[in-house]
Structure 1
């Protein structure tokens, strides 16, 4: 028995990386799919992939920084399938590595706009539908930095910690409304994706310093050192969704680090991370 047989699943940020791997694994598990991404060429490639796996699916161009795109995505989902069972808000970007005091205004607007506002806009578009249905599952992709930030990625860490807090509050609100709608937050450790090159989709009006080829290569090597492939991570994630876990971790070491962070809160000090990020600079 395939675990997601016949369920309607929306995967936002599904053109590449973890999102595409999740979409393909959902297809193997019998889901009907709505694929959303700002990169129309690559999301159409993902569409062909899930259709080859036997899924009924559509692709919808979606800019998560603009609320109207999420509203249109929800409408397209209902028009094609009549309901929605699972929404995976997976679109995400990361700024170039530098110290917190070197971040610019456009770095804040871009990273928070995609990672946090994109999640909030997806909630506004899809949660009312789920409430009307009486069921549904909203899944947002945070990061292990949602649990413990890392050096040199202050804006990314802030956005992902905010996503976790936002989704925790969302679940509280759903409980207070006596709703059966569930929420999960994926907090993946290193996954080998093209996230280091996410500036390729950065809008011109929020332009900032673009990472050099050397910086992208360093970040890519950092992810590859002990990181999961997208397919490996997707299988772990779908297990967590099927089990309706709120926190979905891909590496148990992050739970241990969260416990160390909580002990530091209790004792009044900040715990220093026990790993080194990629070197700063060009």
Structure 2
């Protein structure tokens, strides 16, 4: 099948930490040459879209427009604004998440926030967990930007935002609303931004638990690349198979209407 649009993961799909992944740069260039719409849909909240754009350009020689990047931060702001339930937030996260929400009109409040928003925070400490726990116990809505347990890097799989969220689930006995993949929240926002039907796009990623489940749960075809989180030995035991499974993006043959790489 020839797809009219591509939803693309970044970490583990286009790059792994500071290392490029085989075939990724050429894949993006093929999309650009063929004028096929694409949108990077990333659970990473530590960077703004402009940061992501700069990182792709400077470190991987991949040149894209800022508007082709849809982060879990943008999806979180879109979702919270749609609720009309206040604008006070306490955030566990880095500048990409904090600044992104504040620039979207939210106000920082550690004592009586309407929302506690939790993402990856490499400077996490006990006091941040205390503040978040008390706020959630006092009625703040618990928002998890993404459930990623790990981040694929050149060092290996490092702790992700999901590990911080798990700590707060334990301390509050409450489940968060998850924004990032595989949630329908970020996927719906991405589809709306592309202006295409679900049946016309494909979700590309390395993580079965987030990227591929995001497609499966939202009736979107999926392409699993074995370059990051999910390994080749895992494929045979997956409960629902991806539409396609490839070692890396250089193997993709779906540029033509007839595609026989389906597995």
* TM bucket, shorter chain: 0.3 to 0.5
Larger helix share, 1 or 2:
1
Normalising to structure 1: TM-score of the pair?
Answer: 0.35
Normalising to structure 2: TM-score of the pair?
Answer: 0.37
Larger strand share, 1 or 2:
2
